Every structure is written in C-alpha cells, then in structure tokens.
Amino acid sequence: MNDHHERRLARVFVELADTLVDDFDVLEFLNMLVERCVELLDVAAAGVVLSDHTGALRMAAASSEQARLVELFAVQTDDGPCLDCVRTGLPVHSTDLVADESRWPRFAPAARAAGFAATHAVPMRLRRTVIGALNLFKTEPNGVDTTSAQLGQAFADVATIGMLQQRAIDDNTVLVEQLQSALNSRVVIEQAKGVLSARGGLDMGSAFAALRGYARSHNLRLSELAHAVANGTADLNAIMTGGNHPIRRTQP
C-alpha cells in the first residue's frame, strides 16, 4: 500500500467519523460511504441496506444503478448475503456466485445478470445492535480479498459509530425513527429520479448524478430537493443542466 493510498484511507476514516454537524444527512453520508469503498477497495460496487422500524431491510445507498437494483431485489425477495449478514451480525461472503446459486437461489442469478461474480457483506453493528449491512461486489469470481474485506468492515464500523454518535442515542426508539426517516426519503429520491428520467430522457444513474450534483452545488439536502422534484415545485431544467456531473441521455 503506497503512501498516497494510506493518506487517502486516513482522510476517509476522518470523513466517516466527522458527523457532528447540524445539517448531517444520513443518505448523503451513506452515499459517501459506498463511493469511498469503490475508490479505495478492490471492489466494483458497494451497497448499504438498513433495518426499518419494523425490522425489515430496505435498500439505502448504492454506488451504481446495477448495485442498487441488486440490493433492492435482495430485500424484496428476502434472499442474499446482506440479509444473512444482518440476521447473524457476522460477515457473509461468496467467492463465486455461480457455485453459491443453491445458497441464494434468487439473489445469485440476479447479481450475476447485473455483472457481479462475487460478494462480501459486512455488518453495520455496534456491540449487539445491528442496524444494517455494507455489501461489496466484485465482477471476477475470486472473492473480495482479505485487505478489502477488513477495510470494508472498518469503514462500516466507523460509519455506524459516527451515525450513533451524531444522534447522541440514549434509547433505540430515536435511532429507529431517524433511520426510518432516511429510508422514507430514499423512496422519494427514486420518485425524483423517475421524474428527471421521464422529463429529460436520462438513464436512472444520470438522473441521480444530476440530482445529487445540484443539491451539493446549491447546499441543499438531497432529500429536500427530491421532495421538490417529486412535488413538481423544482426547476427540472436547472437540475439537469446545473449539476456537477455529466448527463448521459438514453437512446430514443
């Protein structure tokens, strides 16, 4: 590991721990977590699932549209390593999803169809409390290497502690309510992506990039902007042309 990579890792750990701010945004924080996993670990994609107020799992963040769809399919079909990870509180991995199709008969074919060949899920856990899981994906059937798996767990641990610390949690009810709010906002974000896709002919990944880029450049919460788009009160043209990311249009 070279000096630049070590310095980058150190900055990311500080970034994950630095949640003591008034305008802390859970969804933006989780999106940053999965992006840093792809940047610094030997993985192709990453996703996060969180438990809602009923204990059911829901997709909360993903580094790519493919990973988002796979995680969404996993929670909808109640099948996959992330679900096993949350239930056991232990890491769950597959070095070859073809070989593990009998283990996850619904998840494994869907993940392979999305281009993934191996996966490693680590719990987002503090002592006995498991609030979700971080799932790492690879496109080669050789599994996630030990270093990436250990760093992924470290990222998940620091992120979990940071989220709990930011809220000064004294009882689990507060945590459940705040995580539920974040998950509800995720639904609105998907609606906003659909609106931008329909209006501008964008693919879903580009719609999210435009939405997030505009929110960042204008110091807006992602969830607030998504609500404005879904409610029809946002300037869609400004969002599609004013983000910091390139817009990719779908073919007619």
Beta carbons within 10 angstroms of residue 39's beta carbon: 12
For the cut 90, the answer to whether the pLDDT of residue 244 exceeds it is no
- Position 76 scores a pLDDT of 93
166-188 as b/e: b if 16+ CB within 10 A: bbeeeeeeebbebbbebbebbeb
Q: What is the side-by-side order of every strand in the sheet holding 118-126?
A: 57-62, 45-51, 129-138, 118-126, 92-94
Cβ pair 48, 130 in contact under 8 A: no
Mean pLDDT computed over 181-202:
82
| Candidate ranges 19-33, 136-150, 155-169; pick with highest mean pLDDT | 136-150
- pTM score: 0.66
Q: How much helix, strand and coil, in percent to the nearest 5, is found in the chain?
A: 55, 15, 30
- Position 24 scores a pLDDT of 65
For the cut 80, the answer to whether the pLDDT of residue 3 exceeds it is no
244 CA to centre of own chain: 20
Percent of the chain with pLDDT over 90: 39
Sign of CA dihedral 96, 102, 108, 109: positive
- Position 243 scores a pLDDT of 45
Supply 189's token pair: 């974000």
Residues 211, 199: Cα–Cα separation, whole Å: 13
Residues 158, 126: Cα–Cα separation, whole Å: 10
- Position 220 scores a pLDDT of 84
The residue among 118 and 244 whose pLDDT is bigger is 118
Mean pLDDT computed over 176-193:
75
Residues 219, 214: Cα–Cα separation, whole Å: 8
Q: Report the chain's mean pLDDT, rounded to a whole number.
A: 83
